Amino acid sequence: MRLQELTEFRNEPLTDFSQDANRQAMEAALAEVRSEFGFTVPLIVGGEEVYTDDTFPSLNPSNPSQVLAQVSKGTKELADRAVQVANEAFQRWKKVPAAERADYLFKAAEGMRERKHYFSAWMVYEVGKSWPEADADTAEAIDFLEYYARQMIRLEETATSQLTQIPGERAELRHIPLGVGAVIPPWNFPSAILTGMTSAAIVAGNAVVLKPASTSPIIGYQVARLFHEVGLPGGVLNFLPGPGGTIGDTLVDHPLTRFVAFTGSKEVGLHIFERAGRAASGQRWLKRTILEMGGKDAVLVDETADLEKAAAAVVVSAFGFQGQKCSAGSRAIIVKDVYDTMVEKVVDRTRNLTVGDPSDPENWMGPVVDDKAFKKIRDYIEIGKQEGELIYGGDVVAEDGGYFIEPTIIKDVPPDARIAQEEIFGPVLAIIKAQDFDDALEIANSTEYGLTGALFSQDPERIERAKEEFHVGNLYFNRKCTGALVGVHPFGGFNMSGTDSKAGGPDYLLLFTQAKSVSAKTDGAQLPVEQGGK
């Protein structure tokens, strides 16, 4: 397939679950997934499934006594073997033309599209996503496959055309793959981000070892299995679940590892960044790190804003998927002139949110992902009670022992409070009063993060100022600060939010390649003997 043959990229439509047919299809997918509970997830190394005696359970956070699957646990030895196998596969895969590599992504996109509710249903059970949140995750995974396939073909066919050609010489610019990569995705977008990071690395000509998050290995396995079902050569994608402290470190430290693509917490990201900077014996390159590490994002509201729309956006940004998004608007910064009115509107809207098992489509919020997150969030709520005034929520929801926490709102929070500075990754909203727009902007920029932000204002001058001064990688006006679309909102942040790697953007694949300039004298041409430059 050539560039001129490609159809225009379009985002995958979201499912309208108010339609009976769609609702029934999702219910059927949930039933299909339930029928598969209790199977054993294998590793995949060199295209072969590997089962280990040592396993760990994947649990349903809505009902932690329910084991969804037993997961084969990788070891350091298996991690080393996976890297070796990936390196061998890379020697062949790098020679495959870009259009042929892209075709595997197109086939995977079609396969996921045909079974989209099946992938979504696994997310409902394994990480507690509501129907719409799971559906959006699957749609984004399809978008990444379609988008990166097109971008790779475009990159190969247009790079040279951007060069200046001089008489007597033909210049080319090639983007060649890096080698073996460790792909370490998060659990909160277990299909979308995992698929995006993996497919970008593969379509660029690299081979990868994919280590899924320990709380979402089943979904990772379904994606890896999909790639192999469409015929991806063995060894190009190796699937290795296991503990990060052993598997992750082994992959990062390995001398054959050329790059690490990671999305997760700041603490783990910095750990990877430090380890990747050490040259192992036999290592012949500087390891590249592609890191996205979270945020402490804010929705700013000034006195000119449409307060109804602002309140709706604050609630969705803060509590969508239980606040377990790096883009979640966990801070609402409101100027004092409309502070009390906005607080009341936010609380009123939050009262309408339903919390419970997300397999029931009537529940808007589900559980947080596991016991560790449950305890951490509750600890932060207790901290927040000392730092501000708890005005809504703060309690757990008793249902089948699940990890359910009410949407929680704490107002009058000082800008330097812990719950205003530290990433909580749960349904906790800190509301901060600003004296004016200048103060609000200063508060917004006061954290070590810089991922997403939103401003609600009808003042054109303030909007222009925010474009320059609101220091985040993804800035939105008069809308929520979550919900970036592939190809529309390239996603990635500043400061401790990561390397601003802009997933879903036109330059993302460059991070998985290295540029090689090739020039040749043309027949009969005479070049100057002396030239400047390097």
Task: Quote the longest CA-to-CA distance of the chain.
Answer: 83
CA–CA separation, 158 and 370 (whole Å): 46
CA–CA separation, 192 and 451 (whole Å): 18
Residue of 326, 406, 423, 481 marked catalytic: 326
State which H helix or E strand residue 83 sits in: helix 76-93
How many CB atoms are closer than 10 A to CB 48? 13
Residue of 292, 303, 406, 423 marked catalytic: 292
Residue 426 is classified by DSSP as S
| 114-151: b (≥16 Cβ within 10 Å) or e | eebbbbbbbbbbbbbbbbbbbbbbbbbbbbbbbbbbbb
Residue 448 is classified by DSSP as S
Q: Check if 464 is active-site.
A: no
CA–CA separation, 251 and 257 (whole Å): 7
Ranges assigned E (strand) in 141-249: 169-177, 180-184, 207-210, 237-239
Q: Name beta bridge partners: 433.
A: 334
State which H helix or E strand residue 513 sits in: strand 513-521
Q: Which long-range contacts (CB under 8 A, 24 or more apart) does 129-132 make?
A: 129/321, 129/358, 129/366, 130/321, 130/358, 130/361, 130/363, 130/364, 130/365, 130/366, 131/17, 131/26, 131/358, 131/361, 132/14, 132/15, 132/17
Q: Check if 8 is active-site.
A: no
Where are the alpha helices (H) located in 354-507, listed in sequence order?
371-387, 418-421, 437-444, 460-469
CA–CA separation, 353 and 311 (whole Å): 14
- Rounded to 10 degrees, the C-alpha dihedral 266/271/276/277 comes to 100
Residue 52 is classified by DSSP as -
Supply φ then ψ for residue 486, to 5 degrees: -60, 135
Single-letter code of the amino acid located at 10: R
CA–CA separation, 37 and 53 (whole Å): 19
Tell me the two tokens of residue 222. Answer: 């379904």
CA distances from 17 to 117, 120, 130, 214, 477 (A): 11, 13, 11, 30, 28
Residues in Cβ contact with 367 at an 8 Å cutoff, skipping those fewer than 6 apart: 61, 62, 128, 322, 358, 374, 402, 403, 404, 405
Q: Annotated catalytic sites, by residue?
A: 292, 326
